[in-house]
Amino acid sequence: MVSEQPEVGSRAVVAAEDLQRLLDILKDRGYTVVGPAVRDGDLVLEELDGAGDLPRGLKDEAAPGAYRLTPGEEGRFFGIRVGQESWKKFFLPPTLDIMEARREAGGWRLVLPGQAPPRFACVGVRACDLAAIGVQDRTLRHGLHPDADYAARREGAFLVAVHCTDPGRTCFCASMGTGPQAVGGFDLALTELRQGGRQVFLVEVGSAAGAEVLAALPHQAADGSVVEEAAALIARAAADMGRTLETSGLKDFFYANYQNPHWEQVAGRCLSCGNCALVCPTCFCHSFEDVPDLSGDAVVRRRRQDVCFTLDHSYLHGGSIRVSPLSRYRQWLTHKLAAWQDQFGCSGCVGCGRCIAWCPVGIDLTREVAALRESDAETSPNP
């Protein structure tokens, strides 16, 4: 079945039953294979024992303030799009021990972590999440002050993307230019197809490492009809996107609308729970804490995930500078869609829709931006 030696940019067809072999190859190469699985009724991202752990035959349904798993197309491995967890949990863990100080006879000795991080192979990365990983790379890997742990985890990672052919109702990646097709940053990209009742994957090679892995898999060169079918499904997904966000002039709009009256309406609904920031695949705010043991002879400095919706997040000497829900929501949304561009040269939003689905009161980012624009139009003086 193997036809020609794969190279970057080439496409091949792999039978669905060989997905397990793909996972085995990655494990044999020293990767910890992680991907979507269902545990106790919830979609999680965790280590996979095999292809049988994938949520085959299920799909997800999302709406403002709602998310559930339901039966989907029989046999389909990647019918579920995104859940509350994102891949940043593997590259930017929610908690991380930075160092430990131990009391000894001559004083205190600092001990740094000596264990190398795992090499993750992430299977099932959607285009929006792939874009989110790229955003975090800009800030934490290639920025002015790289995070050494993040850089080490990303350096050894292998990414298997999955193009979306069935968008969710809360998705708006097409508006953000981040999907539904993954256009780069992956080692292999899959499109799940059916051909004559047979389930297959169209596999695109994105790196030399991906070419090596595909070469070890049974595959055949993809003909034009398969490539066209996959492209048509992805184009349909872009056209059927559940939501849209008008991005034209968005940064300048936010800077000019700091006092827009619509902020009051959003603040009246926002619970300041921070769910939107917690599930966001690009948010990376964190704080540090020192945790001593009971004897007082050792203390661990720990980094933990934080969100900008807490009073403590903006605490300076004398108190917090953002004391109201209005100020905290405005800070999050303005930073995400405007200030992020000045800081990091890109948007902080990839259109995954997680913040919409996991907001307890169903605040919809796309609708709030539209409402802010409408309010601005109503209150601005006529020329």
Q: What is the 3-state secondary structure (H, E, C) of the chain?
A: CCCCCCCCCCEEEEEHHHHHHHHHHHHHCCCEEEEEEEECCEEEEEECCCHHHCCCCEEEEEECCEEEEEECCCCCCCCCCCCCCCCHHHHCCCEEEEEEEEEECCEEEEECCCCCCCCEEEEEEEHHHHHHHHHHHHHHHCCCCCCHHHHHHHHCCEEEEECCCCCCCCCCHHHHCCCCCCCCCCCEEEEEEEECCEEEEEEEECCHHHHHHHHCCCCEECCHHHHHHHHHHHHHHHHCCCCCCCCCCHHHHHHHCCCCCHHHHHHHHCCCCCHHHHHCCCCCCEEEEEEECCCCCEEEEEEEECCCCCCHHHEECCEECCCCHHHHHHHHHHHHHHHHHHHHCCCCCCCCCHHHHCCCCCCCHHHHHHHHHHHHHHHCCCC
Kindly list the domain boundaries of the chain, sorted by start residue.
11-239, 250-379
Q: What is the pLDDT of residue 313?
A: 87
pLDDT of residue 312: 87
How does pLDDT run along the chain (383 residues), one tens digit per residue?
445 678 899 999 999 999 999 999 999 999 999 999 999 889 999 999 999 999 999 999 999 999 999 999 989 999 999 999 999 999 999 999 999 999 998 889 999 887 888 999 999 999 999 999 999 999 999 988 899 999 999 998 999 999 999 999 999 999 999 999 999 899 999 999 988 778 999 999 999 999 999 999 999 999 989 999 999 999 999 999 989 999 999 999 999 999 999 999 999 999 999 999 999 999 999 999 999 999 989 999 999 999 999 888 888 888 888 999 999 999 999 999 999 999 999 999 999 999 999 999 999 999 999 999 998 776 665 55
What would the pLDDT profile of 315-341 be if each residue is shown by its tens digit?
Answer: 888 888 899 999 999 999 999 999 999
The token pair that represents 245 in the structure block: 């966000």
The pLDDT value given to residue 379: 67
Q: Which of 100, 169, 160, 109 is nearest to 130 (CA)?
A: 160
Per-residue confidence (pLDDT) for residue 2, from 0 to 100: 47
Residue 230's closest CA among 270, 205, 201? 201
Please state the pTM of the whole predicted model.
Answer: 0.92
Q: What is the chain's length?
A: 383
Q: Which residues share a beta bridge with 315?
A: 320
Q: Which residues contact 151 (CB under 8 A, 6 or more apart)?
A: 140, 141
Do residues 221 and 227 touch, judged by C-beta distance below 8 A?
Answer: no
Can you give the pLDDT at residue 4?
A: 66
Gap between the Cα atoms of 87 and 132, Å rounded: 9
Quote the pLDDT of residue 44.
96
Residue carrying the six token digits 């029989």: 74
Largest CA distance in the chain: 77
Name residue, tokens 């769910």.
Answer: 275
Comparing C-alpha atoms, which of 99, 213, 97, 209 is closest to residue 155? 209
Would strands 120-126 and 298-305 be described as parallel, antiparallel, or unpaired? unpaired
pLDDT for res 1 = 47
Q: Which single residue is written with the structure tokens 């403590």? A: 312
CA distances from 214 to 96, 130, 185, 219, 299 (A): 34, 20, 17, 8, 47
Which pLDDT value is given to residue 249? 94
Pair of tokens at residue 237: 């997904």
